[in-house]
């Protein structure tokens, strides 16, 4: 648990602006994963709206093991009402074909379900945890949010990822320094079909790496059941140690990977976006 930290005046102003913005809604539903961004929004929504705020977590095969339980624990810690909905993105052929717009179809499924839920609950506004640093990256899910009139209060109040982490530490949220953990389908190389079986292979492989002490890591699935492991450069020697390497390759072969590789460039969040055509990488494209 972090020790409460003091916030600089500009960030205090952003915090107050965030709470005021959420408080201006009659009620809201927060699309909440177990990540730091949406957890901070959920905390702010609870402070602003109390029982008129609800956190909603989408559950499917693309959610890493343990994330749903952590979302439940965080919601309980915050004191916000929490609902879980099952999403069915894998039943959508456009999602499974895993083109660069895969996230659009995933978020469309989530926000469609949230819109229906909000209507049944009488909730006025749906919000997500996007921050301003997300705007400059390739994020087709942002278009899905716009299509469903989902608000991004962190963006509206000018929060960077660093701001979010500082506020999470100030509020003593235990995931303030948690590494980003996008959905498991993001590990599948574009053009390779996204299936529950493949994301399960990736999930179990990354769990094994975390058991070796790695906090930030990715196992990327490439054609031919090839695993490309991304780990911090400082950890490459550890993974290449003969004893560690033997156990690691044995485990990944057991999980179904035919080939196991170690990326010498190290861990790079969003590295598969290098395969996206340049015109798609333009902000808001």
Sequential DSSP letters for 43-110: HHHHHHHGGGEEEEEEESTTSPTTHHHHHHHHHHHHT-EEEEEE--GGG-HHHHTT-TTHHHHHHHHH
Average pLDDT rounded to a whole number, residues 50-72:
97
Give yes or no on whether 9-170 and 184-268 have one common fold: no
pLDDT of residue 135: 84
pLDDT of residue 270: 61
- How many residues make up the chain in this entry? 285
- Domain 184-268: assigned CATH number: 3.30.300
Q: What is the pLDDT of residues 5-16, one digit of tens each?
A: 678 889 999 999
The CA radius of gyration of the chain, in Å to the nearest whole number, is 19
Domain boundaries in the chain?
A: 9-170, 184-268
Split at pLDDT 50, 70, 90, the class of 277 is: low
Greater confidence (67 vs 268) lies with: 67
pLDDT of residue 69: 97
To which residue do tokens 């899910």 refer? 141
What kind and span of H or E run contains 162? Answer: helix 161-170
262/246 Cα distance (integer angstroms): 13
pLDDT of residue 234: 96
Q: What is the pLDDT of residues 144-161, one digit of tens each?
A: 999 999 999 999 999 999
Average pLDDT, whole number, for the chain? 93
- Name the nearest CA neighbour of 210 among 234, 235, 185: 235
Share of the chain above pLDDT 70, in %: 92
* Superfamily in which the 9-170 domain is placed by CATH: HUPs (3.40.50.620)
């Amino acid at each position: 648990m972090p020790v409460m930290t003091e916030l600089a005046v500009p960030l205090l102003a952003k915090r107050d602006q965030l709470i005021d913005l959420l408080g201006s809604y009659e009620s809201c539903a927060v699309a909440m994963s177990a990540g730091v961004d949406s957890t901070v929004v959920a905390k702010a929504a609870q402070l602003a709206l109390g029982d008129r705020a609800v956190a909603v977590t989408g559950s499917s095969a693309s959610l890493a093991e343990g994330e749903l339980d952590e979302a439940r624990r965080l919601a309980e810690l915050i004191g916000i009402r929490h609902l879980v909905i099952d999403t069915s993105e894998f039943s959508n052929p456009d999602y499974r074909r895993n083109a660069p717009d895969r996230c659009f179809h995933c978020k469309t499924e989530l926000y469609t379900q949230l819109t229906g839920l909000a209507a049944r609950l009488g909730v006025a506004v749906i919000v997500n945890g996007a921050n301003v640093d997300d705007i400059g990256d390739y994020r087709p899910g942002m278009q899905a949010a716009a299509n469903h009139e989902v608000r991004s209060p962190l963006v509206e109040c000018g929060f960077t990822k660093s701001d979010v982490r500082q506020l999470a530490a100030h509020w003593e949220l235990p995931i303030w320094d948690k590494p980003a953990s996008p959905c498991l389908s993001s590990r599948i190389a574009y053009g390779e079909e996204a299936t529950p079986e493949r994301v399960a292979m990736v999930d179990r492989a990354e769990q094994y790496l975390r058991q070796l002490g790695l906090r930030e890591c990715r196992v990327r699935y490439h054609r031919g059941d090839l695993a490309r492991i991304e780990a911090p450069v400082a950890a490459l020697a550890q993974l290449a140690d003969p004893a560690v390497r033997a156990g690691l390759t044995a485990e990944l072969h057991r999980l179904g990977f035919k080939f196991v590789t170690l990326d010498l460039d190290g861990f790079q969040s969003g590295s598969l976006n290098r395969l996206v055509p340049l015109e798609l990488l333009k902000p808001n494209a």
